[in-house]
Amino acid sequence: MSRVRRSVSLRLANSLRVESVAEEYVEASDASELCAVLGRARRDSVPVTLLGGGTNVVPLRRIDGRVVRMASRGMSFRRCRGGVRVTAAAGESWHRLVRECLGRGLAGPENLALIPGTVGAAPIQNIGAYGRELSRWVSGVSVVDTVSLETSVLDASACAFRYRDSVFKSEEQGRYVVTAVALDLRDDPPESGYPELARELARLGRAPSPAWVAEAVIRLRRRKLPDPRQVGNAGSFFKNPTLTVDAFDRLRGRLDIPGFQDGARVRVPAARLIDVCGWKGYRTGDAGVWSRHALVLVNHGGASGREILDLAYRIRDDVAQRFDIELHLEPTVLGRG
């Protein structure tokens, strides 16, 4: 049974590199160990907070209760109808999964190369990049229900995947712990239509094979996003908002901004709105906005989670005031203080 440690610093366990102390911390190496950990927390009446790679969270000074991290490893690849089923444990690195797929000549998740974090967290916000989202391939998400402690497998429709959202992040937040994810890869034709990606492939002078799409994506990400090992950050801090067609037309009358159809609405890049408001490169103390990408908030060294969050709220309020558009945070705020 895994050991519960007390007063554990999470500074190196979150990509914003902000100081945060977990009252208790424990790792589970598989689903049965997780059930024991959750059972013990319930017996002790201790709240549980899940943590993966810490790349999409804003930890505040203190997290009460027990922080639980899935440390399970393992991947399997087996033929299924029309393709290959890839099953990976929650604690695996997402990018390693993408590399393993590429190494086996399996097409699909190459547009999601270099997204940091774990496989277990990938369904939480239905990770996506450069025109593709995880939900496209999910055949099942293995979970432990924190209420009943029962294990089950949710199919894609039960996961209710949406843009940067799912049942795990909204309707049933905190109810399920993901222990494994199964993806069915069916030799997708490469997706290279995303304008920035198409330009990078053209620059590389390469046809869009899965390997070259991954290469182009990795180059773009390295150019645009700060490496969390050097500059603390949590990737995009806000989701791209959607507008009615009328509101989008009005906005376009005020500034040059692209729009992407999303059902009956139009999704617009939050980065453009933040940039127009003049926040790119802004810094207050050690909290700032990345100079090459207005959607990325950074910790220049000693910022706290609260300072990063306060800056995010100032940006959100400014965009709301100028454009009457509400921005929503993408990362999850953990703890208090």
Ligand X SMILES: Cc1cc2nc3c(=O)[nH]c(=O)nc-3n(C[C@H](O)[C@H](O)[C@H](O)COP(=O)(O)OP(=O)(O)OC[C@H]3O[C@@H](n4cnc5c(N)ncnc54)[C@H](O)[C@@H]3O)c2cc1C
* Residues recognised as catalytic: 164, 236, 330
**Measured distance CA(122)–CA(127) in Å, rounded:** 6
Using the rule CB under 6 A, give the single segment among 124-132, 148-156, 268-276, 304-312 that binds ligand X: 124-132
Segment contacting ligand X (CB under 6 A): 126-134, 204-212, 238-246, 285-293? 126-134
Distances (CA, A) of 257 to 208, 223, 247, 279: 27, 22, 12, 17
How far CA 319 is from CA of 185, 255, 323, 326, in Å, comes to 40, 13, 6, 7
Residues 6+ positions from 84 with CB-CB distance below 8 Å = 77, 78, 104, 106, 184, 185
Which residue in 234, 243, 268, 319 binds ligand X (CB under 6 A)? 234
Q: What distance in Å separates the CA atoms of residue 164 and residue 77, rounded to the nearest whole number? A: 26
Question: CA 32, 47, 35 angle in degrees (round to 5)?
Answer: 5
Does 233 contact ligand X by CB under 6 A? yes
132-133 and 128-129 as β-strands: parallel, antiparallel, unpaired? antiparallel
CB of 235 to ligand X, least distance (A): 3
Query: Is position 309 an interface residue for ligand X (rule: CB under 6 A)?
Result: no
Choose between 67 and 102: whose C-beta lies nearer to ligand X: 67
Alpha-carbon dihedral 276, 277, 283, 285, rounded to 10 degrees? -160
Decide: is 15 part of the binding site for ligand X (CB under 6 A): yes
The reply to whether 121 sits near ligand X by the rule CB under 6 A is yes
**Quick check: 190 binds ligand X (CB under 6 A)?**
no
Distance CA 258, CA 255 (A): 10
Spatial separation of the C-alpha atoms in residues 318 and 85, rounded to whole Å: 46
Query: Using CB under 6 A, which of 235, 241, 269, 288 touches ligand X?
Result: 235
Q: In whole angstroms, give the CA distance from residue 297 to residue 281.
A: 9
Least separation in angstroms between CB 14 and ligand X: 7
CB of 176 to ligand X, least distance (A): 6
Candidate segments 123-131, 154-162, 207-215, 262-270, binder of ligand X by CB under 6 A: 123-131
Closer to ligand X by Cβ: residue 120 or 190: 120
- Residue of the chain from 213, 308, 332, 335 that contacts ligand X (CB under 6 A): 332
* 145 or 310: CB nearest ligand X: 145
Q: Tell me the window of 75-83, 95-103, 111-119, 305-313 that interacts with ligand X (CB under 6 A).
A: 111-119
DSSP 60-116: -SEEEEEEEEE----EEEEEETTEEEEEEETTSBHHHHHHHHHHTT--SGGGGTT--
Which of 20, 56, 142, 146 touches ligand X (CB under 6 A)?
Answer: 56
Cα 112 from Cα 3, distance rounded (Å): 34
Answer for which of 115, 154, 201, 308 binds ligand X (CB under 6 A) is 115
335 binds ligand X (CB under 6 A): no
Sole binder of ligand X in the list 59, 83, 109, 120 (CB under 6 A): 120
Residue span binding ligand X (CB under 6 A) among the ranges 118-126, 181-189, 275-283, 297-305: 118-126
Provide the β-strand partners of residue 289.
Answer: 297
Query: Would you say 3 and 69 are in contact if contact means Cβ atoms under 8 Å apart?
Result: no
> In the complex, which residues of this chain contact ligand X (CB under 6 A)?
15, 50-57, 70, 90, 115-118, 120-122, 124-125, 127-129, 168, 177-178, 225, 228, 233-235, 332
